[in-house]
Amino acid sequence: MTIAIGDKLPDVKLIKAGEGGPEPVQSAEFFAGRKVALFSVPGAFTPTCSAKHLPGFVDKAAELKAKGVDEIACTAVNDAFVMGAWGKASGSADVTMLSDGNGDFVKALDLVMDGTGFGMGHRGKRFSMVVNDGVVEQLNVEAPGAFEVSSADHLLGQL
């Protein structure tokens, strides 16, 4: 069943792109006790993700934090090295890059996208959410090929 508002996030292992290299992170611990603006992209360095999605959250980081967000995180079905490189290339010091390299997180959320027709394999759908102490408060899942409801601006309007 697809994750919904009011649901607790599943506890899976993600990998944080840390300064010293990959760092394992349990999602239950990462989201516990704070409000997190989370967004997911189909892939690092892909056109819409690099030109609009991530830059929007970088640009709006201060506004999101002013509205009570403790942390902004981005996840994608890419390895931690790719996520770390993408974070550095985009100047996203305010966004924690979380690798869902095996797709375990998006599978547990039931938000998998089939990108095999584009040679991308199975990835995560484009979405954003507000997670408060591990519980989904807002959820915005894009239609295939769209970029409207998962933007930083849209999420700001929900806070």
pLDDT per residue of the chain (159 residues) written in tens, 0 to 9 = 799 999 999 999 999 987 888 999 999 999 999 999 999 998 877 766 555 678 889 989 999 999 999 999 999 999 999 999 888 888 778 999 999 999 999 999 999 887 677 777 687 898 999 999 999 999 999 888 888 899 899 999 999
Task: For the chain, give every domain's residue range.
Answer: 13-158
Residue 36 pLDDT: 98
pLDDT of residue 93: 85
What tokens were used for 44? 């690092």
Catalytically annotated residue among 3, 49, 76, 129: 49
Q: Are 56 and 88 spatial neighbours (Cβ–Cβ below 8 Å)?
A: no
SS3 40: strand
Q: How many residues in the chain?
A: 159
What is the reported pLDDT for 121? 62
CATH number of 13-158: 3.40.30.10
Active site residue 49: yes
Query: Per the structure block, which two tokens stand in for 14?
Result: 């993600």
Burial of 81 (0-12, 13-18, 19+ CB in 10 A): middle
